[in-house]
Amino acid sequence: MSALADSQSAEKPSLRAVEVMAQTDTVGWMTGVRTMWRVTKMAGETPWQVVFALVSTLFAASLQIIIPRLLGHAVDQTQTALTGGAEAAQAALWTTAILVLAVSTLRGIFATLQNYFSESVGHYTGYRLRMQFYDKIQHLSFGFHDSIHSGDLITLGLLDLEGARMFFSTGLVRFVLLAILIGVGGYWLISIDLWLGLLALSFVPYVGWESSVSQLKLRGTWLVLQERLDILSRVMEENLAGIRVVRAFSAQDHERAKFHRASISALDLAYERVDIRVKSTATMTLSFFIAMGLVLLVGGMKVQAGTITVGTLAAFLTFMTILQMPVRQLGMLVNSVARTSTCGARLFALLDLEPAVRDRPGAPALNVTEGTLRFEEVSFSYPSAPLQDVLQGITFTAKKGETIGLIGPQGSGKTTIAQLIPRFYDVTGGRITLDGQDLRDVTLTSLRQNVAVVSQDVFMFTTTMENNIAYGNPWAPEEKIEQASDAAQLHGYIDGLPERYRTVVGERGASLSGGQRQRMSIARSLILTPAVLVFDDSTAAIDARTEARIFDAIRAQSADRVTVLVAHRLNTLMHADRILVLDMGRIVEQGTHAELLALNGKYRELYDLQHRSYGVTA
């Protein structure tokens, strides 16, 4: 288990590795037992429903064993009515018929209660697992989401969760049912006639074995099929997300062929699963009828010899018919255990992860007074490449009212600095403070209430303009929403729409242009009035004139905050109080626009390069 512990501490899970571990003979078996115990404990959170389900199962199984005895007794009574004593035998036959009807009705009622309460427990367990899964996803850090595909998480939260939540009804309840039917029923048959009872039960070991083997084969192919369905869902997800690109490049045929290959791969395996199931069912049915034929042969001889009655033989045959389907469920029981062990291990491996970025025990809320942001010899490397330093020895101070610009070539560390301020990642060396408080020592909630990031990767929710802008402050008054959108140069556009701020944004903001989405993202951050406002190249899709108006509005409100601008266009940063020039993760130059031009260094090179490309001389 040390490997799993290491992966948890580093928050770099491998769901496939957990799945393989759950299938090994030693560690996997132990993991499976722990997984089933955890699912059982979760089911126990609804104790009355669990009790009702188990008691109903007990009564349903017991009544099902009584039915063959009553039917056998009825056959003997019918035979007695035919040979003499008709009136008495008919009265007894009516009594037995009423008893059979009553017992069958009660058995049906208890079976219904069993199914109802066991499914209720299963659905509650599913609800609890879904909420825990979703809550965990909300709290796992950016490093986790960098290392795993969203399609894998969706599969884990749907298929694997479904496999774990059904353990109570398909595992525990089915075990109780089979134990009573096979154990008590088998003892009853053998106690009547040892050899006939053994013949009647002779199909049970083979059917149980064949059912278990086939179900485990189906389980193995299901895991492979699940992986192929993962690929299918990824292809579809990427196609839907990039449908505009597909159409723009007329790549429909290519995408259709890619989806067809993934679909055929899943279809071939589905056919293989059908083949396994059909062959298994045929051999189990054959073994049952062979056993029934032997019982008829031997039982008929015993009836002729007078050692058993016709009713007893009928009871044996009836019980065999009743037992046929539950015995086949032995394989389903084995499959339920295997499925819960594997799916549950994958699911709990994620639920047990500790976020790499989390609150320390007893961490206080951030208390902003002066609003001074300080980087002190900060170094950083991403969890996916721990030996490669993205930042090295970054040191600077930004005071309230100051605007700090960050510029440099791609890969120089600009965006990384922007992501470290709200603590999307933790620094690997040095520290970042706000008013002397290490960001790692305060609560994440209070930190992110005081640090807002306008990202270059803009996401819009399928809801109204108003709700998208007020996402970080749902109770913001309408006036504040309009002020924020006006500062972002978006109010004029929204005001001209028929529904104004109640206009619904399409999926992922598809109904908006790139610039409009970026301006809405800016408005979403401005509404929070944070102590530190970070713009991570968030105006790249906005024309220069609109960008200038946006930053004029932001500068007018910047006296009470630190503003950090990350940009590739120098015009965006020219009016910053201080510009930091980054290269290879280090600050190589810093100063005002004029000071940096006078240095004739990296900044001057960037300036000349950009202005030369626009046909402007310095």
517/514 Cα distance (integer angstroms): 5
pLDDT, residue 16, reads 43
Tokens 């993991």 sit on residue: 31
Residues 6+ apart with CB under 8 A from 187: none
Which pLDDT score, from 0 to 100, does residue 147 have? 65
The domain boundary residue, chosen from 303, 321, 351: 351
Residue 547 within any structural domain of the chain = yes
Q: Which residues of 582-607 are buried (b: 16+ CB within 10 A; e: fewer)?
A: bbebebebbbebeebbeeeebbbebb
CATH number at residue 239: 1.20.1560.10
Q: Quick one: 426 and 342 in the same domain?
A: no
User: How open is the CA angle 554-556-557, to the nearest 5 degrees?
Assistant: 65
CA–CA dist 603, 593 (Å, integer)? 9
- Give a yes or no: residue 465 inside a domain: no
Say how many residues make up the chain. 618
Q: Are 313 and 404 within one domain?
A: no
Does residue 400 share a domain with residue 255? no
Q: Tens digits of per-residue pLDDT, 175-211?
A: 888 888 888 888 888 888 888 888 888 888 887 787 7
Residue 386: what pLDDT?
67
pLDDT at 17: 40
- Alpha-helical runs (H) found in 352-423: 414-420
DSSP 503: P
The confidence score (pLDDT) of residue 8 equals 37
Phi, then psi, of 437 in degrees rounded to 5 = -95, 120
Give the containing element (helix H, strand E) for 378. strand 373-380
Beta bridge partners of 453: 534
User: Do 312 and 451 belong together in one domain?
Assistant: no
Q: Are residues 262 and 390 in the same domain?
A: no
Domain assignment present for residue 471? The answer is no
Report the number of distinct structural domains present in the chain.
Answer: 2
Q: What is the pLDDT of residue 83?
A: 60
CA distance 220 to 23: 10
Closest CA to 13 of 428, 353, 357, 339: 353
User: What percent helix, strand, coil does the chain show, rounded to 5?
Assistant: 65, 10, 25
In a domain, 258, yes or no: yes
Exposed, middle or buried by CB within 10 Å (0-12, 13-18, 19+), for 474? exposed
- 81 lies in a domain? yes
Are 435 and 367 contacting, i.e. CB atoms less than 8 angstroms apart?
A: yes
- In this prediction, residue 149 carries a pLDDT of 64
DSSP calls for 444-487:
HHHHHHHEEEE-SS----SSBHHHHHTTT-TT--HHHHHHHHHH
Chain centre distance of CA 13: 13
Which residues are bridge partners to 433 per DSSP?
Answer: 374, 438
Q: Are residues 435 and 338 in the same domain?
A: no
* 73 contacts 99 by C-beta, under 8 angstroms: no
Domain boundary residue, one of 317, 351, 385: 351
Q: Are residues 402 and 342 part of one domain?
A: no
Contact 432, 513 (CB under 8 A): no
The first and second tokens of residue 447, run together, are: 């930190």
CB–CB of 319/311 below 8 Å? no
Does a structural domain hold residue 491?
no
Give which of 331, 332, 339, 329 is closest to 222, Cα–Cα: 339
pLDDT at 81: 62
Same domain (yes/no): 402, 311: no
CA dist 594 and 592 (Å) reads: 5
Is 474 a member of any domain? Answer: no
Report d(CA 272, CA 282) in Å as an integer.
16
Over the Cα atoms of the chain, what is R_g?
35
Ordered strands of the 403-407 beta sheet: 451-454, 532-536, 562-566, 403-407, 578-583, 586-591
pLDDT at site 84 = 56
The residues facing 405 across adjacent strands are 565, 579
Same domain, 116 and 155: yes
The single residue listed with the structure tokens 């504040």 is 480
Instruction: Let me know: does 364 contact 442? Beta carbons within 8 Å.
Output: yes
* Rounded Cα–Cα distance for residues 143 and 381 (Å): 11
Place of tokens 């469920």: 329
Domain that holds residue 269: 2-351
Same domain, 161 and 205: yes
CA quadruple 477, 478, 479, 484: dihedral, nearest 10: 100
Q: What is the CATH number of the domain that holds 585?
A: 3.40.50.300
Task: Identify the bridge partners of residue 407 per DSSP, sorted by sequence position.
Answer: 581
Q: Are 37 and 30 in contact (CB under 8 A)?
A: no
Half-sphere exposure of 65 (CA within 13 A, CB side): 18
For residue 568, the 8-state DSSP code is: S
Please count the other Cβ atoms lying within 10 Å of the Cβ belonging to residue 238. Answer: 15
CA distance 189 to 175: 20
> How much is the pLDDT for 213?
79
Q: 312 and 377 share a domain?
A: no
Burial of 532 (0-12, 13-18, 19+ CB in 10 A): buried
Sheet of 373-380: strand order equals: 391-398, 373-380, 429-434, 437-438
Which residue matches tokens 């003499």? Answer: 84
The candidate with the shortest Cα–Cα distance to 205, out of 287, 280, 282, 286, is: 287
Q: Are residues 328 and 266 part of one domain?
A: yes
CB atoms within 10 A of CB 394: 24
Residues of the chain predicted below pLDDT 50: 1-10, 12-27, 614-618
Ranges of H-type helices in 242-382? 243-248, 252-305, 310-351
Q: What is the DSSP string of 384-400?
A: TSTTS-SEEEEEEEE-T
Q: Please report how the helices 310-351 and 27-43 are oriented relative to each other, as an axis angle in degrees rounded to 10.
A: 100
pLDDT at 345: 76
Is 469 inside a domain boundary? no
Q: What is the pTM of this model?
A: 0.68
